[in-house]
Amino acid sequence: MNDAYELAIIGAGPAGMEAAITAAEVGVKTILIDSFPQVGGQYYKPLPEAFEGSRKSHAEKEGEFLTSLVEGLSIKCINNALTWGIFKEDTGEGWLVTLYGQEAPKRVHARTLILANGAYDTPIAFPGWTLPGVITCGGALILLKSQRVAPGKHALVTGTGPLLLRSRPRLFSPPRPRSPPRPRSRLPRRSPRTSRRR
């Protein structure tokens, strides 16, 4: 099956969603392609349906808003599709995008192409980087967003990038169990002894 569009966007994260919305609002025939089961990418990855959400974060609300815009416009969304090839059309005009997925068309023809493949982790090896508890920000975000599990009680966040900026506030905001109170002595506190010279 071959489909033809004016614009094909590969990647349905924040940038891909914004590009698709902007194009569709001015009447451009647009297709949005992503390997995830739903739009949003890592940045706006929603909580799984099996979980009952308590309160939603600002980013989750923002992601839901953009998703509703994408769904409300005439944008063709292809999810669970791997883009395995991009080729210049034989005519010299436009692009041939080849996809793999159960419900995806095999080929998509597009006059214009936008690659919005998103952010990804680029960890650097250092002594101890394979120890338990050392995790990339992408891994931390998956734990936080898909399972509502904090990856530990304390966190050291280093580096730069969109995923890192996104994960830092979330690492310190998830609800955590209270630690038990420390045992206290019932004896009155003594003031430190001062030594006197004789």
Residues 6+ apart with CB under 8 A from 172: 155
Query: Cβ distance 10 to 16 under 8 Å?
Result: yes
**Residue 20 to residue 120: CA distance in whole angstroms:** 21
CA-based angle 29:42:109, to the nearest 5? 25
Instruction: Supply the pLDDT for residue 157.
Output: 76
Reported pTM: 0.73
User: What percent helix, strand, coil does the chain show, rounded to 5?
Assistant: 25, 20, 55
pLDDT in tens, 20-72: 999 999 999 999 999 988 898 877 876 666 665 566 777 778 888 999 999 99
Domains of the chain in start order, with CATH, are 2-115 (3.50.50.60), 137-172 (no CATH)
**Is residue 84 packed enough to be buried (19+ CB in 10 Å), middle (13-18) or exposed (0-12)?**
exposed
Query: Which tokens belong to 117?
Result: 């493949």
pLDDT, tens digit (0-9, with 9 covering 90-100), for 177-194: 344 455 554 445 555 555
Q: Region 146-175: what's the mean pLDDT?
A: 69
Q: Are 31 and 79 in contact (CB under 8 A)?
A: no
C-alpha dist (Å) from residue 141 to 11, 36, 42, 120, 167: 18, 15, 8, 12, 6
pLDDT given for residue 137 in this prediction: 79
**Residue 55: predicted pLDDT:** 67
Tell me how crowded residue 154 is: count the other CB atoms within 10 A of its CB: 8
Q: Counting beta carbons within 10 angstroms of the beta carbon of residue 126, is it exposed (0 to 12), middle (13 to 18) or buried (19 or more)? A: exposed
More confident residue, 56 or 116: 116
3-state secondary structure at position 109: strand
